[in-house]
Amino acid sequence: MTVIDELLVLLEDGQERTLDDCTTALDGRTRQTLSSTLGRLAGRGWVKVKTSRSSPPSTYVITDEGEAMVTQTLDQLRLVEAPHDGRWLFVLFNVPERQRKYRDILRNRLIQYGFGRIQNSLWVSARDVRFTFEDLLLDERLQHHTTILRPTLSAEDAQHLVAAFEWEWKVLAAGYARFSELAGRFLKQQEQSSLGARLLVYRYAKLLSQDPKLPEGLEPEGYDRKRAHALYEKVRPFCYAA
């Protein structure tokens, strides 16, 4: 979890907070770090800074754009809980070399959201996650050079497809192990805070965004996502605690 993630989760409830409020809530972060990060969030349009000469200090509140970023990540929870429908998402692009900057931006976004690479210009996901990159396709420098396909694959074809490329299983397994450790520690506390639960849920959703979320039987033996998901389900009710 980055400082940006933590601040977005903190502010996602729509309340206005001062820098002191943020520092108290996120006591693992320094005041200087939070101040500079809030400035970056404001620059991106994800947080609005409210200032008044008559009632200092400044306060910070999340914007619609910031809420959309949080929602996009949390949507991964819905995806992983839905049964796989047999359809896969293929992204094929042939972006001219003069637009390589935008090609690299698209490629990095696909990596960020758990796509597997078949070739440099052909990527695949087991889930319909077009919402994670469709904003990029509004740019004409990518729009006219990208093709999206949603074929249905047999179990045998899916098995061959998954075997054709590497996933970052070790990185994901380490992330799930860390989440499970933190969630277990949280559940053993005498009191569980709403913010603590929301931060854990968001951490899990971030891991899911990088996870290919393959159909049953296609993941490596002993993969830890099921254990992590069971802990997530125990943590989630505390998000709504008073």
Q: How many structural domains comprise the chain?
A: 3
> Taking residues 49-58, what's their average pLDDT?
79
> Taking residues 214-220, what's their average pLDDT?
84
| Residue 187, domain member (yes or no) | yes
Q: What is the DSSP string of 1-65?
A: --HHHHHHHHHTT---EEHHHHHHHTTTS-HHHHHHHHHHHHHHTSEEEE--SSS-S-EEEE-HH
Question: Domain range for residue 112?
Answer: 87-151
Statement to judge: residues 200 and 230 lie in one domain = yes
CA end-to-end span of the chain, whole Å?
Answer: 24
Q: What is the CATH number of the domain that holds 49?
A: 1.10.10.10
| Residue 212, domain member (yes or no) | yes
What pLDDT score was predicted for residue 144? 86
Q: What is the DSSP string of 196-222?
A: HHHHHHHHHHHHHHHS--PPTT-SPTT
- pTM of the predicted model, to two decimals? 0.87
| Residue 188, domain member (yes or no) | yes
User: 169 pLDDT exceeds 90?
Assistant: no
> Taking residues 173-181, what's their average pLDDT?
94
User: 42 pLDDT exceeds 80?
Assistant: yes
- pLDDT tens-place string over residues 57-87: 889 999 999 999 999 999 999 888 888 889 9
d(CA 194, CA 241): 5
User: 55 pLDDT exceeds 70?
Assistant: no
Residue whose pair of structure tokens reads 């693992």 in the numeric block: 28
What pLDDT score was predicted for residue 242? 59
Statement to judge: residues 185 and 229 lie in one domain = yes
- Residue 28 pairs in a beta bridge with none
| Residue 37, domain member (yes or no) | yes
Statement to judge: residues 184 and 140 lie in one domain = no
| Residue 68, domain member (yes or no) | no
Statement to judge: residues 184 and 228 lie in one domain = yes
Best-predicted range by mean pLDDT (162-171, 193-202, 215-224)? 193-202
> Taking residues 172-183, what's their average pLDDT?
94
| Residue 159, domain member (yes or no) | no
Please report which confidence band the pLDDT of residue 208 belongs to, taking 50, 70 and 90 as the band edges: very high
d(CA 73, CA 71): 5
Statement to judge: residues 147 and 174 lie in one domain = no
What pLDDT score was predicted for residue 54? 66
Q: Among 125, 151, 177, where does a domain finish?
A: 151
Quote the Cα angle for 74-29-27, to 5°: 90
Statement to judge: residues 92 and 123 lie in one domain = yes
Pairing state between β 47-50 and 59-62: antiparallel
Q: Which two tokens stand for residue 59?
A: 């306060």
Please report which confidence band the pLDDT of residue 202 belongs to, taking 50, 70 and 90 as the band edges: very high
What pLDDT score was predicted for residue 207? 94
Q: Which two tokens stand for residue 29?
A: 């972060």
Please report which confidence band the pLDDT of residue 99 belongs to, taking 50, 70 and 90 as the band edges: confident
| Residue 76, domain member (yes or no) | no
User: 206 pLDDT exceeds 80?
Assistant: yes
